[in-house]
Amino acid sequence: MRRFLPVLAGLLLVGCGQGGLGAGPGLTPVAEGASGGADLRFRPVLQVVASDATSSANGIQDARYVRQSDTPATQQAALDRLDCRAEDPLRGEDEAGLPLVTCSADGTIKYLLGPAVLSGAEVERAGVGRAYGATVITLELTAVGSAAWADFTEAHIGRQVAAVWRTTVLSAPTVYSTITSGNTQIIDSFSRDEARRIVQRITGPAE
C-alpha cells in the first residue's frame, strides 16, 4: 500500500533526532538557488483510470485547454483521449493552479488531478532510506510548506495525493494521517536508484 506518513523520531527513520529530522544522515539540503524542485508538485488525485487511449492534444496551448480544464465534461474527454505513450507537450508547462489530466511514469494509469497544493520549492531537504521493509523518500518542508501540508493532509486522510514531476505522476500514495511537522516519508515501490534520482531532481538544479 502506498502511503504518506509523518516522520516520527525513532519509528520510521534510522538516525532521527528527538522531535524530528534535525540534520540527520541521508538528507540533502536543497542547494542555494536550486530550481529543480520547482518542477515537483503535489496534487490531490480526483480520478484514476487505466491507460488505453490512442490520441492526444498537440501543442502546449491546445493541451492546456483540454487537459487543464475545470469543466467536468472536458476533463472526462481528456481522460478518454489522452495517450500515455505519446510525448507530452505539457511537460514542464502545466499551470499549478489548474487541474491536470496526466499519466503515471510507466504509462499504465491516467489521472485527473486537482490544483497543486505544494511544490518542490517548499522542500528544504530530501533523502532516501528504508522503512517497513521498503525504500522511502523523506522530505523536510519549509515553515510555509509545513503549514499548507498540515491543512491539506488533515482534510485528505484516506485519499490519494500525487507527486508530479513535470506532469508525470511519480507516486500517488494515500494520506495516512495529518502531518503537522512537515516531515514526510513517501513509501512506494521505488527501487533505491529511482528514489535517489527523484531526490536529486528535488535538491539539484533544473534538468
Segments making up each domain of the chain, as ranges: 3-40+116-203, 47-113
pTM of the prediction?
Answer: 0.81
User: Which residue spans within the chain are E strands per DSSP?
Assistant: 3-6, 27-29, 40-50, 100-104, 109-113, 118-119, 123-131, 134-141, 161-165, 168-171, 174-175, 183-187
* 175-186 pLDDT, tens digit each: 888 888 888 888
Q: Phi-psi bin for 86: left (phi > 0), alpha (psi -120 to 50), beta?
A: beta
Q: Is 158 strand, coil or helix?
A: coil
Amino acid at 207: E
For 78-129, the pLDDT digits (tens) are: 999 999 998 999 998 999 999 999 999 889 999 999 999 999 889 988 889 8
| Amino acid 51: pLDDT | 80
Q: Report pLDDT digits (tens) over 48-91.
A: 998 875 556 568 888 898 999 999 999 999 999 999 998 999 99
Q: What grid cell was written down for 188? A: 512506494
Condensed to tens digits (0 to 9), the pLDDT of residues 2-54 reads: 555 444 322 222 222 223 333 334 566 665 545 556 688 999 999 999 887 55
Between 27 and 189, name the one with better pLDDT.
Answer: 189
- CATH T-level assignment (fold) for domain 3-40+116-203: Gyrase A; domain 2 (3.30.1360)
